[in-house]
A = this chain, B = another copy of it.
Amino acid sequence: MFKKILIANRGEIAVRIIAACKELGIKSAAVYSEIDFNSMHAALSDEAYFIGPPAASQSYLNIDKIISLAKKIGADAIHPGYGFLSENPVFISEVEKSGITFIGPSAKSVEMMGNKTAARTLMNKHNVPIVPGTTQTIKTIDEVKEEAGKIGYPVMLKAAAGGGGKGMRLVNNPDDLQSAFDRAKNEALKAFGNPDIYLEKFIENPKHIEVQIIGDKFGNYAHIFERECSIQRRHQKVVEESPSVFVDENLRKEITQAAVKAAKACGYYNAGTVEFLMDKNKNFYFLEMNTRLQVEHPVTELVSGIDLVKEQIKIAAGEKLSFSNKDLTLNGHAIECRIYAEDIHNNFAPSTGKIEYHSVPSGPGIRIDRGIETNSVVPVYYDPLLAKVITWGKTRYEAINRMKRALAQYQILGVTTNTELFTYILNSNDFLNGTFDINFLENVLLSEINGLSSTEISKQTEEAAVILSALLKQVEMEKLKTGVGYNGKNKWVEQKYE
Interface residues of A (CB under 8 A from B): 15-16, 19, 22-25, 34, 37, 44, 50, 298, 301, 305-307, 329, 331-332, 359-360, 362-370, 373-374, 394, 398, 401-402, 404-405, 408-409, 497-498
Contacts and interface: CB of A to CB of B under 8 A. Distances in A.
Nearest to A497: B37
A44 B370 CA distance: 22
A331 B360 contact: no
Number of copies: 2
7 contacts: A15-B363, A19-B363, A37-B498, A50-B497, A301-B364, A331-B331, A364-B369
A497 B34 contact: yes
A99 to B, nearest CB: 27
A363 B367 contact: yes
A22 B405 contact: yes
A363 B369 contact: yes
Which 3 A-B residue pairs are closest in the complex by CB-CB distance? A37-B497, A50-B498, A23-B401
A364 B497 contact: no
Contacts of A23: 398, 401-402, 405
B360 A332 contact: no
Given A22-B405, A34-B497, A498-B37, A307 B398 contact: yes
Contacts of A402: 23
A22 B365 CA distance: 13
Contact of A364 (B19, B44, B363): B19
Contact of A16 (B19, B24, B363): B363
Residue among A23, A50, A359 facing the most chain B CB atoms (10 A cut-off): A23
Nearest to A357: B374
A402 B22 CA distance: 8
A362 B363 contact: no
A363 B373 CA distance: 13
B405 A19 contact: yes
Contacts of A405: 19, 22-23
Given A50-B498, A305-B394, A364-B298, A359 B373 contact: yes
Given A307-B398, A332-B305, A409 B44 contact: yes
Contacts of A498: 34, 37, 50
Contact of A362 (B301, B370, B374): B370
A202 to B, nearest CB: 39
Contacts of A37: 497-498
Nearest to A22: B405
A373 B359 CA distance: 8
A408 B23 CA distance: 12
A30 B121 CA distance: 63
B306 A394 contact: yes
A367 B369 contact: no
Nearest to A405: B22
A395 B25 CA distance: 16
Contact of A360 (B329, B360, B369): B360
A423 to B, nearest CB: 13
Contact of A307 (B16, B360, B364, B367): B364
A254 B405 CA distance: 39
A331 B305 contact: yes
Contacts of A373: 359
A11 to B, nearest CB: 13
